[in-house]
Amino acid sequence: MPGADAFLRVEHLSHSFGGFKAVDDCTFEIARGSISALIGPNGAGKSTAVGLIAGALKVQSGRVFFDGQEVTRLPAYKMARRGLLRTYQVSREFPLLTVMENLLVPPPDQRGESLLNALFRPSVGRRQDAALASRAVDVLETYGLLPLRDEYAGNLSGGEKRLLELARAEMANPKFMLLDEPMAGINPALIARLDGHIRRLRDQSGITFLLVEHNLDVVERICDQVVVMASGRTLAEGSMAELRQNPEVVRAYLGGGLDERAVG
């Protein structure tokens, strides 16, 4: 049975592309209010699992529970409305929208999105936009992106796009953030800023995090709990310290990384 404190629980999830089993009987749970990591070698099925949880892929077998309710096979936009926010391995900003507009898209329950309000009561949308823009200014300031507010998001640097992803995610008021390699391809100074933001969001807003991450230093520094996947299955769960003692995990994934660190 799902534990009372589990925010996300995945049960016997399997998914094949053609004949290839990308996810194979994968089971794990993520504690409410934790920052957790999903690690594993390339091809372990992590991104597929993320897609299945987020509703971008249709679950073929197995079940997903989110915030105490079964959400198996809910489409992506409905998962988002229940408070799940996912990001992608590559930044998925809206290139021809400005940074500011990118932040105004995510907030839920925008009354100006109704056709009747758009046509006959434009002030409804404008008033809500004013409040959202005011909040977006604060968020942009937090991430140091305020000077770029009128820039097309497509013109930002790789690092700025990563910050924008998180800023945008914050505007959506999620309960759970599912971040697929949020630190991929950015410099160490910015990594420190990003993980600072993640901890701040957990502490201030109580958001639960699940990160797919290859950078084990980051995982060690900020994650309470780690799920290891290999060949589509859950190999082990626990803290980084525990996992390092697990010979199976070391063989499958940690080996190289651990040795390097032991030397360095």
Partner 1 sequence: MDLILPYIATLAIFFFVYNILTWGLNIQFGYAGVLDFTFITFVACGAYFSGVFALGPGQKSTGFEWILGLSWPFPIALVMGALAAGLLGIVIGLIAVNRLRSDYMAIVTLATGTVIYGLVSNYTPLFDGFDGLAGLQTPFSQWLNINYNQFTYLWVGFCAVVMVICWFIAQRILNSPLGRTMRAIREDQEAAEAFGKDSFRVRLIAMSMGAVLAGVGGALLMGFIGAFNPAGWTSGETFVVWAALIVGGRGNNWGGVVGSFVVAVLVNEATRYIPPIPGNATLIPTVRNMLIGASLIAVLWLRPEGIIPEARRRFYQLPLLPGRRTPAEGMGSAGS
Q: Which of 45, 62, 106, 182 binds partner 1 (CB under 8 A)?
A: 106
Residues in region 173-192 near partner 1 by CB under 8 A: 186-187, 189-190
Cα 59 to Cα 74: distance, rounded to the nearest angstrom: 9
List beta partners, residue 180: 212
Compute the least distance from the CB of residue 226 to partner 1, in Å. Answer: 24
Nearer to partner 1, 133 or 240 (CB): 133
By CB under 8 A, is residue 60 in contact with partner 1?
no
Nearer to partner 1, 44 or 148 (CB): 148
Place of tokens 């990003």: 194
Q: Which of 118, 200, 206, 248 binds partner 1 (CB under 8 A)?
A: 118
Nearer to partner 1, 90 or 251 (CB): 90
Q: Estimate to the nearest angstrom the gap between the alpha carbon of 153 and the chain centroid.
A: 20
Spatial CA neighbour of 190 closest among 164, 228, 209, 168: 164
Instruction: Please choose, out of 29-37, 150-158, 199-207, 215-223, the segment that lies near partner 1 by the rule CB under 8 A.
Output: 150-158
By CB under 8 A, is residue 4 in contact with partner 1?
no
Compute the least distance from the CB of residue 116 to partner 1, in Å. Answer: 10
Instruction: Please choose, out of 15-23, 69-77, 201-209, 231-239, the segment that lies near partner 1 by the rule CB under 8 A.
Output: 69-77
Instruction: Please choose, out of 16-24, 28-36, 108-116, 235-243, the segment that lies near partner 1 by the rule CB under 8 A.
Output: 108-116
Cα 88 to Cα 199: distance, rounded to the nearest angstrom: 19
By CB under 8 A, is residue 149 in contact with partner 1?
yes
Cα 192 to Cα 180: distance, rounded to the nearest angstrom: 17
User: How many residues belong to the site for partner 1 (CB under 8 A)?
Assistant: 66
Provide the binding-site residues for partner 1, judged by CB under 8 A.
54, 56, 75-78, 80-81, 85-88, 92-98, 100-101, 104-106, 108, 110-115, 117-119, 122, 125-126, 128-131, 133-134, 137, 141, 143-150, 152, 157-160, 163, 168, 172, 186-187, 189-190, 193
